[in-house]
Amino acid sequence: MLDDRVRRVLARLEEEDRAEREQGVARELRARQVERTTGQFLFSLVAPQTDCEVLEVGGSRGYSTIWLAAGVRTFGGRVLSLENDPRKCEAWRTNIAEAGLEAWASLIEGDARETLPAIDDVFDVVFLDAEKEDYEPFFQAARGKVEPGALFVADNVLSHEEALGAYSRARQEDPTLESVTVPLDRGLELSVVLRDVSSDGGSPRKGGGPDLSDSCTGSGGASS
């Protein structure tokens, strides 16, 4: 739900981001947040889902977290955000509280290369927005924490095509996924999980999901 509190914080963060870019603030000190339209896109992906568990890698000061948390507030769910910069973590906490979203978002502070593998949870949506060279290990670490029907969203695949082209190609060639590059803002790779990586897979921990890789062979429905 996008109420006035959320809108006010988003507007302030957009203004701060604009000012930082204009003043030429060093990259590592800037929020480096997603475009507003990408935020709206993330919101629209999660808002219709019931009990939507979201993992975000690269929370920065909370701009994209706020879009995601406002989205999951509609029908339930939570956002778990990972961030390693202590100053950004502090700002993240302030901004999430100011937006009134503390009940829908939490933060794990530390290097996601260590914190992500240690998370024992199952996610419906995974949003990757950290350093480009880490996308592949982060994807691999999160791959075992999702079930069929889950969605990976990776930002910057067109703005950083040299670094992330291999990421998109690998996802598009993976038969356990259906993956497409969406040319919105800096480019988003959307990868839907069709089935578990291993056939024995173990027991699903979130109630299980269907194998989506051959879902049109059942009875009924007109053929075209």
Ligand X SMILES: C[S@@+](CC[C@H](N)C(=O)[O-])C[C@H]1O[C@@H](n2cnc3c(N)ncnc32)[C@H](O)[C@@H]1O
Residues binding ligand X (CB under 6 A): 31-34, 58, 60, 63-64, 82-85, 88, 111-113, 129-131, 134
Give me the DSSP letters along 109-168: ES-HHHHTTT----EEEEEE-S-GGGHHHHHHHHHTTEEEEEEEEEE-TTTTHHHHHHHH
Nearest distance from C-beta of residue 5 to ligand X, angstroms: 17
Contact 47, 74 (CB under 8 A): yes
Nearest distance from C-beta of residue 185 to ligand X, angstroms: 11
Contact 188, 157 (CB under 8 A): yes
Nearest distance from C-beta of residue 28 to ligand X, angstroms: 7
Indicate the residue type of 75: F
Residue 52 or 69 with smaller CB distance to ligand X:
69
Residue 82 or 188 with smaller CB distance to ligand X:
82
Residue 22 or 133 with smaller CB distance to ligand X:
133
Residue 118 or 216 with smaller CB distance to ligand X:
118
Residue among 191, 188, 179 at smallest CA distance from 155? 188
Contact 57, 130 (CB under 8 A): yes
- Around Cβ 183, how many Cβ atoms within 10 Å? 10
Q: Is 146 left (phi over 0), alpha (psi -120 to 50) or beta?
A: beta
Question: What is the b/e burial string over 86-113, where b = at least 16 CB atoms within 10 angstroms of the residue's CB?
Answer: eebbebbbebbebbbbeebbebbbeebb
Residue 64 or 181 with smaller CB distance to ligand X:
64
Residue 134 or 174 with smaller CB distance to ligand X:
134
Nearest distance from C-beta of residue 220 to ligand X, angstroms: 42
**Segment holding 53, helix H or strand E:** strand 52-57
Q: CA 67 to CA 47: how far, in whole Å?
A: 10
Nearest distance from C-beta of residue 13 to ligand X, angstroms: 8
Residue 116 or 194 with smaller CB distance to ligand X:
116
Nearest distance from C-beta of residue 216 to ligand X, angstroms: 35
Nearest distance from C-beta of residue 184 to ligand X, angstroms: 14
